[in-house]
């Protein structure tokens, strides 16, 4: 429960539909400012800024200030962490299947 924190932040940030939609948009279209990111949604600008802050603190997006605009872009690094977690779970699960297989052909050569 210690440095699971980062993973928890990533999962939490990504769990919200609005934030996921923003990530998808950034992935497809690249760098966008806050006003552009607002457009698809029927919520206030401060609400969008709040979502962006959460994404940024979770390391899922980067921010670049240019003049009076703040340009955000996706950072896929942390998505890799999630993928890794899932892979780990899948791996355990596969091992269970393998173990079951071994059990069924018990006393048979346990090759591959």
58 to 77, contacts with DNA by CB under 7 A? 63, 66-71
The one of its own copies, DNA, none whose footprint includes residue 11, by CB under 5 to 8 A per kind, is its own copies
Residue 58's nearest CA partner among 40, 39, 72 is 72
Nearer to its own copies, 42 or 66 (CB): 42
Rounded distance between C-alpha atoms, residue 105 and residue 19, angstroms: 48
Q: Which residues contact 49 (CB under 8 A, 6 or more apart)?
A: 34
Residue 67: strand, helix, or coil: coil
Question: Cβ of residue 53: shortest distance to DNA, in angstroms?
Answer: 5
CA separation for the pair 87, 99 (Å, rounded) = 18
Question: What Å distances lie between residue 91 and 7, 84, 98, 99, 112, CA to CA?
Answer: 18, 10, 10, 12, 16
With respect to DNA, which residue has the nearer C-beta, 42 or 97?
42
Q: Which residues in this chain contact DNA in the complex, by CB under 7 A?
A: 12, 15-16, 18, 33-36, 42-54, 63, 66-71
Q: Which residues in this chain contact its own copies in the complex, by CB under 8 A?
A: 1, 4, 7-8, 11-12, 14-15, 17, 20, 23-24, 27-28, 30, 74, 76, 79, 82-83, 85-86, 88-90, 92-93, 95-96
């Amino acid at each position: 429960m210690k440095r699971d924190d980062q993973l928890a932040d990533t999962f939490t940030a990504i769990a919200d539909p609005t934030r996921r939609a923003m990530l998808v948009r950034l992935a497809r279209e690249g760098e966008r400012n806050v006003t552009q990111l607002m457009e698809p949604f029927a919520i206030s600008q401060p609400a969008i800024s709040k979502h962006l802050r959460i994404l940024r603190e979770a390391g899922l997006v980067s921010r670049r200030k240019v003049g009076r605009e703040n340009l955000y872009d996706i950072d896929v690094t942390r998505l890799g962490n999630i993928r890794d977690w899932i892979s780990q779970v899948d791996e355990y699960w596969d091992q269970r299947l393998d173990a079951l297989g071994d059990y069924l052909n018990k006393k048979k050569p346990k090759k591959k």
